[in-house]
Amino acid sequence: MTTEPAPAATAGRRNDLDWVRVGAFAFLILYHVGMFYVTWGWHVKSDHASRLIEPAMAILNPWRLALLFFISGVAIRFASDKAATGGSFALGKVKRLLVPVAFGMFVIVPPQAYLELRFKGEIPADIWAFYLRYISFESSWSIITPTWNHLWYVAYVFVYSLLIVPLLPLLRRAALALEPQAERPGRAGGLPLLVLPALPLLFYQMVLAPRFPTTHALVDDWANHASSLTMFLFGYLAAKNGGFWRAVDRALPLAGAVSLGLAAALFAERASRGGMAVSRDHLMAVGALRVIYAWATILAILGLAQRYLNRGNAALSYLGEAVLPYYILHQTIIVVVAYQMIGAGVPAGLEAAIIIVATVGGCVLIHEFAIRRSRWLRPLFGLKPTPAPLRAAAGAAPAPAQG
């Protein structure tokens, strides 16, 4: 008699992956706050910036976005299966992804670019003069404008979604063909599941990454495209594959052990290295370990979520809708608040707490009282039209008192 848990639902909504998606975006907010404090390049920098938290940040780097692309692939599988035609699916992605990217580039992101250029001393304080130059594709600045900054992830998911439209019948057949392969005992659990999917990712790391540094600029980001699109397709093919999810459960102990072991090793390596230069061979070896660590961590997260988070509730329903608006808003709030902290003499711990509270609070308040209740703002942030109960509640609300 087997002791394996039943796999998460493969025909309906995946509550476990919804929880993972919410958690991954929450980590992303904290990560972007952390970018204010490390020595790596970012839009603005704290007076307290140092290498102190860089080893911890480096532990999140290998898997945080790969996990999101995997989950996006799962979501696209469910969305494409529900669409009547490839054309209707593509139109839906234009509305839910392209519109928010365009809106974000011209409304949400410009404050980030303005404050970055102010921080670098490249422009005067006149924000309106800056914006006119920003929308005119100014080429004399150190940054490209208009820019999508953190919205590159949404833009990439949109492009990948359109790329697979003509391949949808082939991908569905491939997903069905993989089902019996995943069901074979011993073939898709444990070590094979940990190693085989990581092989193409290792190839990209060893061959493409040294030649094509990550740019997030779409047209020249080939190593990043290769790994991100592969994870996207992994998610698409795995979404409804019950055998894959049973294999994930069987692989959980091994994946968890490998993830924790490599996390400790990579943390120690980064902490001991400090700012010292290392050889190319050393970097290649570390890069290979980071790939294996990333895939093991993703498998462990998926396995744990499947076992313990495969249930929905009102909080998940609310946060599941709020995630994209929070994502669109969060980095602009971080940059705006963080910029005010520069030179203010606030201790590092208090400064970070102020930025985190302001960012989370700003996202919550703007989403709840502006975006969520507005038929005009919802589509600009990738949300579906206002649900009828919410419209009714808004219409029944008493008029505010006049002062």
| Nearest CA-CA partner of 327 in 111, 73, 108 | 108
Using 50, 70 and 90 to split pLDDT, how confident is the model at 182? low
Higher pLDDT, 169 or 189: 169
Higher pLDDT, 132 or 4: 132
Using one digit for the tens of pLDDT, what is the confidence trace for 8-36?
545 567 899 999 999 999 999 999 999 99
Side chain identity, residue 237: L
- Is pTM beyond 0.75? Reply is yes
DSSP-assigned letter for residue 167:
G
pLDDT value of residue 11: 52
Using one digit for the tens of pLDDT, what is the confidence trace for 41-74?
999 999 999 999 999 999 999 999 999 999 999 9
DSSP characters over 347-367: -HHHHHHHHHHHHHHHHHHHI
Using one digit for the tens of pLDDT, what is the confidence trace for 75-117?
999 999 999 899 999 999 999 999 999 999 999 999 999 999 9
- The residue whose two tokens read 């102010």 is 118
DSSP-assigned letter for residue 385:
S
Length of the chain: 403
Percent of the chain with pLDDT over 90: 82
For 57, residues 6+ apart whose C-beta sits below 8 A from its C-beta are: 31, 34, 35, 38
Per-residue pLDDT for 37 more than 80?
A: yes
Q: DSSP 3-state assignment of 88?
A: helix
What distance separates the 2 farthest-apart alpha carbons in the chain?
72
